[in-house]
Amino acid sequence: MATAAGPRVQAVGIDATELGSGKLLPERIYEQLLEQIASGRIARGDRLHSENTLAQSFGVSRPTIRKALFRLQADGIVRSRKGSGNYVEEIPSPHIVDLKPGTGNISDMLLSVEFRVAIEGDAAALAALRRTDVELAELNEIMARQEQLLGAPLADVHDADIAFHTLIADASRNRLFSEAIRKLYVSVMNSWLLWHRMATDEYGKLWRTVLKEHRAVLGAIRDSDADAARAAMRAHLTKGRRRILKTSSSK
């Protein structure tokens, strides 16, 4: 952490063997830097090495490093200070390390949630205008099932969450929304795997927060309020992405 003598310039241990093919280099570098921060090897307030030094450590170009740093900045993990460098602003949940940094799992998960924010808000808006009474009854049933899942097995929680989101996509009457959501199952499961590693009381608090957000989405769809449904869904997914990155402090 920062001291009276100034912030540390933190060394970064690089595992170059994980920078092979399969994922874009900036994504894999992003994940390794995120892991360094989440695991505590780089602390809040620490200054990262310069782009030149990082590029040499990873054996890549400065533009590649810059792209990885931009991702960290966009996530609120790192802040750039003009003329000084990049400093660690927030510490993500240590549980994120369990998703195997360097494999693409973390990057794919976060990118998928960002994509869902962009499309599911509009899907919910259309569902508010196009849903049938039968679909509304099914959403109410799913919501009632979710209310009973505190402390339930991961598979049950995941299935209920997917059912809620896919039914809303189906109710939009646009099959492309439905197909897109179903193709993101793996990344959605990774987020639940992350949260299930939390302590029981912490996970319980998280699930109650998710339920509150789901109720807001459902209420707007029930009222046929497209604007409110869009806003509620976007807020739910945006907060979910923040929870993935900062599980221990997000609400």
- Global pTM reads 0.75
- What 84-87 contacts at long range (C-beta under 8 Å, 24+ apart), as own/partner pairs, is 84/47, 85/47, 85/48, 85/50, 86/47, 86/48, 87/7, 87/45, 87/46, 87/47, 87/48
Q: Which pLDDT score is estimated for 107?
A: 76
Q: How is residue 165 written in tokens?
A: 């989101």
| Domains defined for the chain, CATH in brackets | 9-91 (1.10.10.10), 100-245 (1.20.120.530)
Q: Are 250 and 198 in contact (CB under 8 A)?
A: no
Residue 43 DSSP one-character state: -
Kindly tell me the sign of the dihedral angle through the C-alpha atoms of 100, 115, 177, 224. Answer: positive
Write out the chain's pLDDT in tens, 251 residues: 444 444 454 544 444 444 444 457 888 898 889 888 988 899 999 999 999 999 999 899 999 999 999 989 988 899 999 889 999 998 887 777 776 655 556 777 788 888 999 999 999 999 999 999 999 999 999 999 999 987 777 677 778 888 999 999 999 999 999 999 888 876 666 676 666 666 666 777 888 899 999 999 999 999 999 999 999 999 999 998 888 777 444 44
Kindly give, in sequence order, each residue whose CB lies less than 8 Å from that of residue 95, ignoring residues fewer than 6 positions away. Answer: 194, 195, 197, 198, 247
Would you say 12 and 33 are in contact if contact means Cβ atoms under 8 Å apart?
yes
The pLDDT tens digits for 95-128 are: 777 766 555 567 777 888 889 999 999 999 999 9
CB atoms < 10 A from the CB of 141, how many?
12
Beta strands 47-48 and 9-10: pairing type? parallel
If you write DSSP's letter for every residue of 175-188 in order, what string do you get?
HHHHHHHHTTHHHH
